[in-house]
A and B are shown apart, each in its own frame.
Chain A
Amino acid sequence: MLHNNHKIALLLLIFLLLPLLSGCWDSKEIDKRANILAIGIDEAKTKEQKHEDEIAHFKNKLPISNEKMIKLTAQIAVPGRIPLGPEQGGGGPTNPVLVIPVVGHTIDDALVNLQQEVSNPLFLGHLRIIVLNEKVARKGTQQINDFLRRNPQIRRTANLVVSKEHASSYMKVNPKLERIPSLYLADMIDNLSGLGKFPPSFIGLFWTHLSSKGQDAYLPYLSIKGKDNIQLNGLALFKGERMAGKTSPLEIGDFMSVIGIYKGGYGAFSMVPGTDTVVMIGTKTRRSRIKVYLKKGKPHVLIRVRYECEIDEKQSQKVYIANSGMVKKIEKEFSGSVEESIKSFIKKTQSKESDIFGFGEYFRAKLPKYWKGRVRTKENWEKIFKNDLTFNVKVDTHLNRVGMKAK
């Protein structure tokens, strides 16, 4: 009998606990959420600054001045309009996303203001891409990073990009290749990395570089071409948390050579020695080796790059690539021109005090005595990178194939 009572008590306890196990407090139906897919951040114009109502704070009671206000444009998925499979014919031109602009003093302030305009709870778990306008990036990213780091919904694999035009216009572009604009944008960055056009880039990596003492961060720099096309226009160089400059698209190739991203994606024209003809040489793979020394107490870097290449195109029919001597000459010519290009690129980053290659990390890791005695902080390293660092580049090109055409 006693045993039975005991069993009943246990059963009751289990039933009592059962509802707790499901964690119902957090259960939210997916269509009752406002899934934010992309965010664009701009500076707020004077006119727009007045749009903010007293939601997260009272007017003029915040130590952040109105000049630092941001305009946040969010792209929210409309439930039921996100196509799941391949697109079926018919159906009206329904827009799968809703674009809402809000202003605020900080990113969270803006999101609080946004929530005031949207009935469903905002959800950031599907945020794929954050577009920062160049002006915002140049002012500093620290405040944005702080919010994104704290929020558990944000994925570390989301993309962060810098835009030439207003970030809000990226929220509105309507690429034809994909129904959902933000997914197209995010996939574009990932796919270009896969093609060897861009070094791996996602927000977690950006933060890692930002924190590292001997390295500065980089981000993709985008611009809009025509009406609905987006172009990868270069690298945004950072000095600390602020953007310091940008590169040309071809310099991305130089950058990837230095850090040794294996998959090659860029091609470059090279003169055939002794003629006025150019050939297009496409890189297939790259390897690099970086060695650091101290030369008379000053840091020195030796970069060796090794290319495996292929001739993609020849401009004129007058010149034949007929023997291996010729190939050797082209290799040499190409190596020389790439060397020059890499050197001028490193000089450019030096002038911006932006060590995106992470040479400083090599010094920190390999020469700890020098680092602890002379450098210690990121700011010091940026100065040394600009003023003291010398470097040497050696490029080794191997032209292995010429395509399917003889001669």
Chain B
Amino acid sequence: MEDTKEVSTLQATSILISTIIGVGVLPLPLFAVQSGDTGAPIVTLSGIVLAAIGLFILTFLGVRHPQNTIVTYNENIIGKWIGKLCSFIVIIFFFILTGLAAREFGEVVVAAVLRETPLEVTVIVMLTLACLSARNNINTFTYIHNFYVPVILAPGLIIVALSLKNGNILYLQPLLGSNLQDMFTGMLTISALFQGSFVMTMIIPYMKEPKKAMKASFWGIFVSGGLYLLIVIATVSVFGPEEIKQILWPTLELARTTAVPGNILQRLDVIFLAVWVTAVFTTIFSSYYFTINSIKEVFSLKDHKMLSYFILPIVFILAMIPQNLIQMYEIIQFIGKIGLIITIFYPGLLLLIDIWLSWRRKKSVTQQS
């Protein structure tokens, strides 16, 4: 391993925050309202809780194996070949996730801002940025995230605060807007937006105090989930559930409607989009880094730098697969739900086997003595 400084708990938290907050903020209120109606905040909250459970399982596993990441320590738990197979699936999943995030970014930019610029250009610029940055070591990775966290959080909070005065509390009532089945689907969709938190497994081995990883996980999901929840509350209370169903990216629309008092800025979408590009970059950067880092570890390679270029075309092609925006969102929601098996169910299973193994080991030790 190269000479790297260790990642502090605070830095780990900020990596999580900036990784989680990404391209998903834009359609978030739409997803929440489609399944929860006026109960959108509750749906969001339950999604956050589900995502938090997944992350805690993953962190707990990581703390038990503080030297490795999930793609290597799983071999100790479920055997070498099954372990490698599972790791492949994880890697492929993150390939797709990176590609889809880049594509979603491109679609928003082409539809809302740069109407004439070809989609391929925006996607490839974003991916190249991630590709070049991913050649750095884990320290630079940490610094980049740490640097951008305030830039990502502050404007989001400002938009929420300024727009809440136009809010109508009636739009948030009744608290349970739809039936439980719809809310459950919504919970899965929302929780899929938090899949970036899986990078935690990669950070734990580099942490100064891996034991405090749980704390980082908690605050990471608390802050990012809190922001998501606030955005849902603000958007639903300003537009109302019925209107949100008519808008593809309600959060962007909220920024377009909100004005800074005193006619300084009549619409905030310019600031919001600039920030959002940063947030998308950090997310894609994380999943990109995670992908190549995992490949490196599965094949026990020394260095991940060269891989960075090799996977760029693959990710780009993956990003170009959806034929149109509607198909893209169908794929994103489908992949997101499959991803829950990978990011929550799979670590859960590993943890159970791991605990069972160590319990058996302990038992055999006591029997011998």
Binding site for B on A (CB under 8 A): 10, 13, 17, 20-21, 23, 25-26, 149, 152, 155-157, 204, 207-208, 210-213, 358, 361-362, 364-366, 368
Residue of A nearest to B120 (CB): A20
B330 CB within 8 Å of chain A: no
Inter-chain contact B266/A155, CB cutoff 8 Å:
yes
Inter-chain contact B243/A211, CB cutoff 8 Å:
yes
Inter-chain contact B174/A212, CB cutoff 8 Å:
no
Contacts of A207 in B (CB 8 A): 243, 246
| Chain B binding surface, main DSSP class | helix
Contacts of B243 in A (CB 8 A): 207-208, 210-212
Inter-chain contact A208/B239, CB cutoff 8 Å:
yes
Inter-chain contact B115/A156, CB cutoff 8 Å:
no
Contacts of A21 in B (CB 8 A): 125
How extensive is the interface on chain B, given as a class?
35 or more
CB < 8 Å: which of B116, B132, B245, B247 contacts A25? B116
Contacts of A156 in B (CB 8 A): 253, 256-257, 267
Contacts of B122 in A (CB 8 A): 23
List 19 additional contacts besides A23-B122, A212-B243; criterion CB under 8 Å.
A20-B121, A23-B121, A26-B117, A152-B115, A155-B266, A155-B267, A156-B256, A157-B259, A204-B253, A204-B257, A207-B246, A208-B239, A208-B243, A210-B243, A211-B242, A212-B240, A358-B170, A365-B170, A365-B171
Residue of A nearest to B173 (CB): A365
B142 CB within 8 Å of chain A: no
Contacts of B257 in A (CB 8 A): 156-157, 204
| Chain A binding surface, main DSSP class | helix
Inter-chain contact B174/A368, CB cutoff 8 Å:
yes
Contacts A208-B239, A208-B243: A152 and B173 contacting too (C-beta < 8 A)? no
Minimum distance in angstroms from B59 CB to a CB of chain A: 36
Minimum distance in angstroms from A342 CB to a CB of chain B: 21
Contacts of B240 in A (CB 8 A): 208, 211-212
In the assembled complex, the Cα of A5 lies from the Cα of B245 at a distance in Å of 54
Minimum distance in angstroms from A150 CB to a CB of chain B: 9
Minimum distance in angstroms from B130 CB to a CB of chain A: 13
Inter-chain contact A213/B242, CB cutoff 8 Å:
yes
Interface residues in B228-270 (C-beta closer than 8 Å to A): 238-240, 242-243, 245-247, 253, 256-257, 259, 266-267
Inter-chain contact A211/B125, CB cutoff 8 Å:
no
Sample (12) of A-B pairs whose CB atoms are under 8 Å apart: A10-B132, A23-B122, A25-B118, A25-B121, A149-B246, A155-B256, A156-B253, A207-B243, A211-B242, A361-B170, A365-B170, A368-B174
Residue of A nearest to B115 (CB): A26
Minimum distance in angstroms from A117 CB to a CB of chain B: 22
CB < 8 Å: which of B128, B171, B256 contacts A17? B128
Contacts of A25 in B (CB 8 A): 114, 116-118, 121
Inter-chain contact B245/A211, CB cutoff 8 Å:
yes
Contacts of B172 in A (CB 8 A): 365
Contacts of B266 in A (CB 8 A): 155, 157
In the assembled complex, the Cα of A156 lies from the Cα of B255 at a distance in Å of 10
Contacts A155-B256, A157-B267, A366-B173: A212 and B116 contacting too (C-beta < 8 A)? no
Residue of B nearest to A367 (CB): B174
Minimum distance in angstroms from A169 CB to a CB of chain B: 28
Inter-chain contact B117/A152, CB cutoff 8 Å:
no
Minimum distance in angstroms from B278 CB to a CB of chain A: 14
B38 CB within 8 Å of chain A: yes
B112 CB within 8 Å of chain A: yes
Contacts of B353 in A (CB 8 A): none
Minimum distance in angstroms from A204 CB to a CB of chain B: 5
The residue among A210, A211, A362 with the most chain B CB atoms within 10 A of its own CB is A211
B111 CB within 8 Å of chain A: yes
Contacts of B125 in A (CB 8 A): 17, 20-21
**Chain B 163-193 against A: per-residue CB contact (8 Å), 1 yes, 0 no?**
0000010111110000000000000000000
In the assembled complex, the Cα of A58 lies from the Cα of B76 at a distance in Å of 71
Contacts of A366 in B (CB 8 A): 173-174
Inter-chain contact A26/B111, CB cutoff 8 Å:
no
Minimum distance in angstroms from B276 CB to a CB of chain A: 15
Residue of A nearest to B247 (CB): A149
A-B pairs with lowest CB-CB distance, top 6: A365-B173, A211-B242, A25-B116, A211-B243, A368-B174, A25-B117
Contacts of B114 in A (CB 8 A): 23, 25-26
In the assembled complex, the Cα of A20 lies from the Cα of B117 at a distance in Å of 9
Contacts of A157 in B (CB 8 A): 256-257, 259, 266-267
Inter-chain contact A23/B170, CB cutoff 8 Å:
no
Minimum distance in angstroms from B116 CB to a CB of chain A: 4
Residue of A nearest to B239 (CB): A208
Interface residues in B319-362 (C-beta closer than 8 Å to A): none
Interface residues in B109-153 (C-beta closer than 8 Å to A): 111-118, 121-122, 124-125, 128, 132
Minimum distance in angstroms from B179 CB to a CB of chain A: 10
In the assembled complex, the Cα of A155 lies from the Cα of B255 at a distance in Å of 11
Minimum distance in angstroms from A378 CB to a CB of chain B: 9
In the assembled complex, the Cα of A20 lies from the Cα of B253 at a distance in Å of 27
Contacts of B173 in A (CB 8 A): 364-366, 368
Contacts of A213 in B (CB 8 A): 242
CB < 8 Å: which of A20, A152, A358, A365 contacts B38? A365
Contacts of B245 in A (CB 8 A): 211
Inter-chain contact A211/B246, CB cutoff 8 Å:
yes
Minimum distance in angstroms from B320 CB to a CB of chain A: 16
The residue among B112, B174, B259 with the most chain A CB atoms within 10 A of its own CB is B174
Contacts of B267 in A (CB 8 A): 155-157
Contacts of A368 in B (CB 8 A): 173-174
Residue of B nearest to A371 (CB): B174
In the assembled complex, the Cα of A373 lies from the Cα of B132 at a distance in Å of 58
Minimum distance in angstroms from A194 CB to a CB of chain B: 11
In the assembled complex, the Cα of A25 lies from the Cα of B125 at a distance in Å of 14
Inter-chain contact A212/B128, CB cutoff 8 Å:
no
Contacts of A17 in B (CB 8 A): 125, 128
Minimum distance in angstroms from B264 CB to a CB of chain A: 14
Residue of B nearest to A28 (CB): B116
In the assembled complex, the Cα of A340 lies from the Cα of B132 at a distance in Å of 72
In the assembled complex, the Cα of A153 lies from the Cα of B115 at a distance in Å of 10
In the assembled complex, the Cα of A207 lies from the Cα of B267 at a distance in Å of 18
Residue of A nearest to B124 (CB): A20
The residue among A26, A155, A156 with the most chain B CB atoms within 10 A of its own CB is A156
Residue of B nearest to A27 (CB): B116
Minimum distance in angstroms from A139 CB to a CB of chain B: 21
Residue of B nearest to A22 (CB): B117
